[in-house]
Copies of this chain bind each other. A is one copy, B any other.
């Protein structure tokens, strides 16, 4: 009588309790897996839940627990494009796979304008999510520090620098680059150049380090002649390769810090009349779709992306359930995928 609009109302916990012939408390205990429920009561409640098709109301639960049971996946502007890379979809697949077993929700948050950024900061400060996953964070991004300050559990994919203060999961970029260059050495290349990424990105520096280490291990001196810098775009890969060929026409191997730059380099090499891999062997990084569709297909360094997503989700869930725990870092191994370019 006193419930207007009772028609079509979703069943509440109270309704379940009534049907099962128990109190609200007991139903709540069953739902939340408390051990102190008799077998009899549990069975009654479970069958009542099934019969009514009951699904707990998140909002009501949230209100009292002040958890939200949701985490945000934050993707900063410059990366919205990169979004199209398998990198992203694999991360998301990994994350979502882990969350599927929980009843955490995944909130997708793209940040384009500084206004949106502002809103997100406020939103996070108000603790409207339980944790944050950030993808492709730039070195100068202040968001992770904000997260740290407001004690919001967070995990980054990739780190901003050596001294990253927030938990992160990263691929072993140094080792990956090293293995790529070693592969070129094993093929017999002697004048190995690299198309490096922008030096203000940690990931780019790591890959450059790996390149240098591999050469050093072999006792080969690395000259600055052999290093050209791009910004991860195809155009920049082209330009870098042109510069390289001008300075060192004798180059016989190239390690590009990304597949897209490698694709650019490939075109320039072909234009210059060099055959790949016969005259110049070429290795990329990331094993993106691009790698499979260039001609010849690119040999590239694969990151365990889906596993990175899974690990990120797990770390975050841990941090959420044990607040105050130490930040954690995980670095996962890479793998060289051989195709025809080297």
Chain A residues proximal to chain B, CB less than 8 Å: 10, 53-55, 57-60, 62-63, 68, 70, 73, 80-81, 83-86, 88-90, 92-93, 96-97, 100, 105-110, 112, 116, 122-123, 125-128, 263, 289-290, 293-295
Contact = CB atoms under 8 A, between A and B. Distances in A.
A289 B289 CA distance: 8
Contact of A93 (B68, B83, B289, B290): B83
A80 B112 CA distance: 24
Contacts of A81: 89
B84 A80 contact: no
A127 B10 contact: yes
A86 B89 contact: no
A71 to B, nearest CB: 11
22 contacts: A53-B125, A54-B126, A55-B123, A55-B128, A58-B68, A59-B60, A59-B62, A59-B63, A59-B68, A63-B63, A84-B88, A88-B89, A93-B110, A96-B108, A97-B110, A100-B110, A106-B107, A106-B108, A107-B107, A107-B108, A108-B108, A294-B295
Nearest to A125: B53
A196 to B, nearest CB: 21
A232 to B, nearest CB: 14
Contacts of A53: 122, 125-126
Contacts of A54: 126
A112 B84 contact: no
A72 to B, nearest CB: 9
Contacts of A85: 84
Contacts of A60: 59, 63
Given A63-B63, A84-B85, A93-B110, 15 more contacts: A53-B125, A55-B122, A59-B62, A59-B68, A83-B88, A83-B93, A84-B90, A84-B289, A96-B110, A97-B112, A106-B108, A106-B109, A107-B107, A289-B289, A295-B295
A101 to B, nearest CB: 10
Contact of A100 (B10, B55, B96, B116): B116
Which of A84, A85, A110, A293: most chain B CB closer than 10 A?
A293
A80 B89 CA distance: 7
A104 to B, nearest CB: 11
Which of A68, A85, A89, A107: most chain B CB closer than 10 A?
A89
